[in-house]
Structure 1
């Protein structure tokens, strides 16, 4: 995880690699930029910490991780810490205590810092007006935006826009382009290959080195494209009906691509495994891909049960064509948006029950939720729980129903019941590497396995 260094004599905090050389006795370290800002430090103008991912530590409690994901979803844009605490079943005081212990800042401070950092990136990258930047970043008013930016960056938004470097501005022929920072070592080619095998026909596609998909924002369709950028970032091009709440769309993209997850500890642990180690060392930058929504993951898992990726793609294509919304004039092979939960919530099936729970925002389907917590879903068997947890960001899930995963286990001669336990608590990362390895044999029939 990135550790930020703050210098008490200058009042500035930096990210690793900054050229500044302060005396060690004058420095303090923080695990999150919000913690440094809460302590009164401002971001360095040289290394610009707001340009790197600001995630939370891998060892944080699951409740803290769930609360952080709700913050990313915007629960504090217009809500309170008390409402956030109620969502995860604890008192506001205890929630603040946990956040201060593990992250060094309160939920409100983290949300404020995240909005301010995203706004600063938009001021650098785009030509959006200051007003558009404010609402795209999740602020409720221009006054709140101006006040927060002055507190975090010690300057007004208009002054920050004037300070941007010539190379910061991204020029686009269409849509809005911005930088999507990733953790050092992130392997875009490996993640892109993973997504290509599992792309939903008509909704997602990988074209060369670009990943592209349709989205729905408050009922209106849009298209997102991700392609290689420069050192430390990808380029995200967004074609959306409006920019309000853009920060949450970008947050979903970041989760889908796994750009902010630091798997360093997991890579180090799994690299020592006698069988899995060579796979991990060959792709150390492979992140565990996330999901655009729990509904997409669940539908794929149900329709793909016992089928090869090719057969699953055919079933998904039929499903999208039947229940999705057709959007004409889209690039490449994009034709539809993924069906909304309301379109399938009335079905008397696992998919219908899942859609109803997604529409009702069931807490067991939140990002970062583990397979055990999902036992509260009566229709979700072991395989569905692990499929969901794996793509929803839980670090210790093992989706054995995935065809490529089972193909890799067969090829490597691994007994899952005997092997999986030694990969805890990094089973999701282990599964991602096995799945990437098995994708080369994705249409080869394999035998189903079952583990507890």
Structure 2
């Protein structure tokens, strides 16, 4: 888990490994950048913690993790409120806020604000998008709101921040927009590719030369995402999109697919002593649980099995001229399965007509439910880390 050190005498917080050497008695530790910012600290200009901000720790309660996933999906963007978010997870807004402050050190609104600001700062560094494009790509409702937030978080205007970027920051791609997807130390990209290959939807997803590719639909227009190795602390995402508005959610979706949206360190530590899974965790400590682009897509993949390829051909939109055998975008959601989101639990999914308990576990597993177990057999021994245990079992042996 990434931790951040804040110095009370300077009002600055740093990521691990920063060259600054403050006196230990002046340090305060935060698990999340948003918590440090909520406490009034600003990001260090030397180590730039916004470039490595990790996912929210999975040792938080399930309801908190579920609410975080909804925030990542945009629940607090464009007028969304903490009250509406709390209703979606079955809590009062006051109780949800109390849980966030206790386990994350920041309220839901503060977490959402920090995520938007950090993403915008990365765009200002990595890309040549205009300041206006960066604002709307990062989920801000107006340029005024964007400017105010960036000044509050980084103590500088977006234009000043763009002027400060380092020569090596700017990413140049052969087509598309290139962005870094930061990961925690030890992340296992080859293992993730193997896992994704087992569930890839023909025509929509492909894996070739250490690169994962997939089609997506943005505002009824096709797009293409390519994820490949980038560096010692990040993957490289190339996004070919018709619009940049709300790009933050496209990047979040890409990170979710390859398991970068959650910190599994607490689960890995808990499973180390298990006689079955423990040796697998020691062998591949950087294994992450794969996610999915959308709840509807993974639900149809599970319900239709191999017939999903024909479903895509018949109901999907053609996307000609793409590499890796990609031919279509996935059909738009319909019916009750169209309401499946990344906050869904096994019980909620099993209550849908025509969805068995086994299928509910398979769907919930790809949607980030850490207690879902998509394999046959008992799994109570690994509670509440069944999804991570299953990932190690799948990676170590024949897929079910």
TM-score grouping bracket, smaller chain normalisation? over 0.9
2:38 equivalent in structure 1: 38
**Distance in 1 between the 2:384 and 2:8 partners?**
37
Aligned residues of 2:214 and 2:326 also touching (Cα < 8 A): yes
**Distance in 2 between the 1:60 and 1:259 partners?**
16
Aligned residues of 2:215 and 2:223 also touching (Cα < 8 A): yes
**Distance in 1 between the 2:365 and 2:357 partners?**
12
Shift of 1:268: 2.6
Secondary structure at the counterpart of residue 56 of structure 2 = coil
Length, aligned pairs only? 399
Structure 1's 376 and 197: CA in aligned 2 closer, same or farther, altered over 3 A?
A: closer
2:397 equivalent in structure 1: 438
**Distance in 2 between the 1:283 and 1:65 partners?**
24
Aligned residues of 2:316 and 2:330 also touching (Cα < 8 A): yes
Tell whether 2:374 aligns with 1:399: yes
Tell whether 2:346 aligns with 1:387: no
Aligned residues of 1:180 and 1:234 also touching (Cα < 8 A): yes
Aligned residues of 1:62 and 1:368 also touching (Cα < 8 A): no
Q: Which residues in structure 2 correspond to 1:227-238 (within 5 Å)?
A: 227-238=228-239
Shift of 1:97: 1.4
Deviations 1:185-215 (A, max 9, x none): 1111110111112211000000111000000
Shift of 1:251: 0.7
RMSD of the TM alignment (CA)? 1.6
**Distance in 1 between the 2:12 and 2:73 partners?**
29
Shift of 1:48: 1.0
**Distance in 2 between the 1:28 and 1:187 partners?**
31
2:9 equivalent in structure 1: 9
Secondary structure at the counterpart of residue 341 of structure 1 = coil
**Distance in 1 between the 2:35 and 2:96 partners?**
16
Shift of 1:109: 0.9
Shift of 1:427: 1.2
**Distance in 2 between the 1:197 and 1:62 partners?**
27
Deviations 1:239-274 (A, max 9, x none): 000100000011111111111322222223333332
Aligned residues of 1:66 and 1:366 also touching (Cα < 8 A): no
2:336 equivalent in structure 1: 357
Aligned residues of 2:54 and 2:263 also touching (Cα < 8 A): no
Shift of 1:368: 4.3
1:333 equivalent in structure 2: 325
Residue 370 (structure 1) aligned to one of 345, 353, 357: 345
Aligned residues of 1:183 and 1:261 also touching (Cα < 8 A): no
**Distance in 2 between the 1:114 and 1:298 partners?**
28
1:216 equivalent in structure 2: 217
Shift of 1:397: 1.4
Shift of 1:2: 1.8
Shift of 1:330: 1.3
Tell whether 2:5 aligns with 1:26: no
Tell whether 2:183 aligns with 1:189: no
Secondary structure at the counterpart of residue 229 of structure 1 = strand
Aligned residues of 2:139 and 2:246 also touching (Cα < 8 A): yes
Aligned residues of 1:371 and 1:389 also touching (Cα < 8 A): yes
**Distance in 1 between the 2:263 and 2:66 partners?**
17
1:56 equivalent in structure 2: 56
Shift of 1:303: 2.4
Q: Which residues in structure 2 correspond to 1:123-134 (within 5 Å)?
A: 123-134=124-135
Further displaced range: 150-159 or 27-36: 27-36
Question: Which has the higher Rg, Structure 1 or Structure 2?
Answer: 1
Secondary structure at the counterpart of residue 213 of structure 1 = strand
2:68 equivalent in structure 1: 68
Aligned residues of 2:150 and 2:156 also touching (Cα < 8 A): yes
Shift of 1:40: 1.0
**Distance in 2 between the 1:90 and 1:263 partners?**
25
Tell whether 2:397 aligns with 1:422: no
**Distance in 2 between the 1:18 and 1:240 partners?**
35
Deviations 1:293-337 (A, max 9, x none): 112222222223xxxxxxx3xx22212111111111112200000
Unpaired runs of 5+ in structure 2? none
